[in-house]
Chain A
Amino acid sequence: GQNIDQPTEMTATEGAIVQINCTYQTSGFNGLFWYQQHAGEAPTFLSYNVLDGLEEKGRFSSFLSRSKGYSYLLLKELQMKDSASYLCAVLDSNYQLIWGAGTKLIIKP
């Protein structure tokens, strides 16, 4: 079966750095997405990785290792507004997006 694993919840301090991990086992791979979802709102696109390595976009970076079936989202200089759920999703061989359950990130002052 297809499976994506993320930690359920993480807590970090304002101004700090946090890394949210995602491991996946899917039938094929055509890319990995990270989405941010604030409580009561729709998911919004953060990043896309299809090749190994790090993609940096401002305070957010996303890393991919296809051989390990592993990705992480790195958030720097955390702000209170970063409190949200972060969803990892993999595009499988049929171009279907397989979603993780999300990681709820709590930022404390």
Chain B
Amino acid sequence: EAGVAQSPRYKIIEKRQSVAFWCNPISGHATLYWYQQILGQGPKLLIQFQNNGVVDDSQLPKDRFSAERLKGVDSTLKIQPAKLEDSAVYLCASSLKAGTSGWHQETQYFGPGTRLLVL
């Protein structure tokens, strides 16, 4: 079974530029998550999708970040314009179906992440 795919793996941009990340979840997983992880910290949820609907985007800086999952499969996360403090690893994860109280459905599987450096 293929895992969660993400691209690119690394990106270096200058502040005020824009950047986009792509994620393809595990086949059959209804729930997709985007996290931001700063070195030495746990992952911070940016947005959660259930199929193509948004479940939680309360911590997404909506003035500069946007995400979509148009067909309920793969997803893109965009930052425009980028700031220095956006330098982090952006992780995509998927699970079978969140909110069902079963460990098998709730377990999140992560992609390799995209390391973003904003100069």
Contacts and interface: CB of A to CB of B under 8 A. Distances in A.
B103 A48 contact: yes
A50 B112 contact: no
A71 to B, nearest CB: 14
Interface residues of A, number: 21
Interface string A74-109: 000000000000010101000111011110000000
B42 A95 contact: no
Q: Which of B48, B98, B103, B108 has the most CB of A within 10 A?
A: B103
Interface string B97-119: 01101010011111111000000
Given A95-B98, A96-B56, A43 B107 contact: no
Interface string A17-50: 0000000000000110100000001111100101
Contacts of A31: 101, 103, 106
B110 A42 contact: yes
Nearest to B91: A42
A93 B30 CA distance: 20
A20 to B, nearest CB: 14
Contacts of A43: 43, 91, 110
Interface of B: 40-45, 48, 56, 91, 98-99, 101, 103, 106-113
Given A30-B106, A42-B113, 15 more contacts: A31-B101, A31-B103, A42-B112, A43-B43, A45-B108, A48-B103, A50-B103, A87-B42, A87-B43, A95-B99, A96-B48, A97-B45, A99-B43, A101-B40, A102-B41
